Amino acid sequence: MSQDVDIQKLRKRATTGARWTGTATGIRIATQFIQLAILARLLKVEDFGLIAMVNVVLSFAQTFGDAGVSNAIIHYRDAKRGELSSLYWLNVASGILVFIGMWFLAPLASQVYRQPLTDYLRLGSIIFVMGPLGQQFQVLFERDLRFKRLAAIETVSIVVSSGVGVVMAFMGYGVWSLVWLGIVQAALKSLALAVVGWSTWRPMLRFVPAECRRFLHFGLYQMGERTLNLAGQHLDKLVIGIVMGPQQLGYYDLAYRLIARPYQIVSPVFSRVAFPVFSAVQTDRNRMRKGYLELIEMLSAVTVPVYFAMFALAEPFVLLQLGPGYETTVHLLRILCIVGFFFSISSPQGTLVLACGRADIGFYMNGLRTALVVAGIWIGGRWGLSGIAWALVIVVGGVMFPVHAMIRRRLVGMQLGEFMNRLLPFVWASIPAALVCIAVRRVVTWPHAAVELAVMLPIAGAIYSGLLWWRARTSVQRLLRLARS
């Protein structure tokens, strides 16, 4: 009986966490939409290409920032104060070392890209010094499902940093406006977490290497997995930046940002809450399997129709978000929507793997994906940006999707049929809605992209909702019960 009560309390806290995360996400969606719409009209496409190069380098460096122990704290839920103190100072030391390394390696990155990136990288690497000050407190808040504070901190940091970036772009600072946008966001978030966290408990001035051992064992696999994961995510941008230059990378990176936004925004609303919940019931494979299926159903209900709509209405969407002059991005967006679709339905995979304590599986899985991306870029690059985009489609849809199915079966006994039964109703309901949008575009000339989207998106939404209720009423009712719970 007590276990049932505990599970009910856990579900209630998870639901509250999802609500707060969802609220913060909604504000972030609106802020980022406005931010990109303004910046795309103030900056050159080459500026976005240069910041994409900077972000690729900083992303790889960031994998070493906390030695991979953050998720280990959530997985090992019994960490004592002494262990947390040692881990805190380990994170601080790791961040300082990464900053020093980036300071000296920045000129090498500039030589590889053949672009003047040194000053951007050196300034941007300040985030590695600031981040560890609040990183552990964020992890502890997530572990304990205290998402209200996190939502407030993240909302303020992204709104303020967006304002700084836009003002600097208006003043003609170009790439520097994007660099400072990232720095201000990271600084505000980390300092706020540190202030709130230190008011609750203060890490002791101690560092005992033995206290970090079990966390580092988990974390080293996690760090290796992150490195390979980032390699798989950014190799295409690395190659495009080196071979084709900042302008082509700018077009590609903007298309990639647009397709990444739905799953990067929607997925954390549930996955971020799911990791500590799954970790709390990690010994119950049946409960984890059911929870994962519910998670996939909720994610699919939102992200699947979004990607079909983006594919069908790519041109007005790009015109509204970025303005004229981004025709290359429109074509790439249509291809990368397929990549985004597979990313969205696979994004909770890492949550399940880590909750089961199998960071080693994540490491090998991302190693395989990275190798496939390398091969895909080498072959697809002969056909330019489109060839690279299609190569990613083959890798994530043709190879990694079946691999993920095998891993889910091994970890929690999930059959592919179970997974597809939760996913397919949303696909079948999205296809007719997308086809109607495509057909209307062929016969109607719209005065403005905003008018087209204002008319077609509600129509597509009505078609999707009606078909879903007609063909998959059970799935809809289950989702409504989950939402009300």
C-beta separation of 289 from 413 below 8 A: yes
396 & 343 share domain: yes
202 & 312 share domain: no
Residue 238 in any domain: the answer is: no
Count of domains for the chain:
2
Q: What is the pLDDT of residues 94-125, one digit of tens each?
A: 889 989 999 999 999 999 999 999 999 999 99
String of DSSP letters for 187-234: HHHHHHHHHHHHHH----S---GGGGHHHHHHHHHHHHHHHHHHHHHH
Position 289 scores a pLDDT of: 83
Half-sphere exposure in the Cβ direction for 18 (13 Å, CA): 22
Residue 36 in any domain: the answer is: yes
189 & 117 share domain: yes
- Residue 485: count of CB within 10 angstroms of its CB: 10
374 & 225 share domain: no
CA distances from 347 to 23, 51, 340, 472 (A): 20, 25, 10, 24
Below-70 pLDDT ranges, the chain: 1-22, 25, 64-72, 74-78, 145, 217-226, 228, 230, 232, 267-283, 354-355, 357, 359, 482-485
Half-sphere exposure in the Cβ direction for 333 (13 Å, CA): 29
Residue 430 in any domain: the answer is: yes
Residue 349 in any domain: the answer is: yes
**Residue 454 domain boundaries:** 245-485
Q: Where are the alpha helices (DSSP H) in 394-445?
A: 401-412, 416-443
C-beta separation of 427 from 303 below 8 A: no
49 & 137 share domain: yes
The residue out of 231, 262, 277 marking a domain boundary is 231
Position 12 scores a pLDDT of: 60
223 & 317 share domain: no
Position 22 scores a pLDDT of: 65
Position 1 scores a pLDDT of: 36
Using alpha carbons, select from 246, 184, 185 the residue that is nearest to residue 53.
246
* Rounded CA separation 172/366 (Å): 40
297 & 419 share domain: yes
Position 5 scores a pLDDT of: 40
The residue out of 205, 231, 257 marking a domain boundary is 231
Helices (H) and strands (E) in the chain — how many of each? 20, 0
The residue out of 231, 253, 285 marking a domain boundary is 231
196 & 108 share domain: yes
User: Strand, coil or helix: what is 302?
Assistant: helix
Residue 452 in any domain: the answer is: yes
263 & 363 share domain: yes
Radius of gyration of the chain (CA): 22
Residue 7 in any domain: the answer is: no
Position 122 scores a pLDDT of: 95
Position 225 scores a pLDDT of: 65
Q: What is the pLDDT of residues 357-400, one digit of tens each?
A: 676 787 788 788 888 888 988 898 888 899 999 999 999 999 99
Residue 294 in any domain: the answer is: yes
Position 77 scores a pLDDT of: 64
Residue 473 in any domain: the answer is: yes
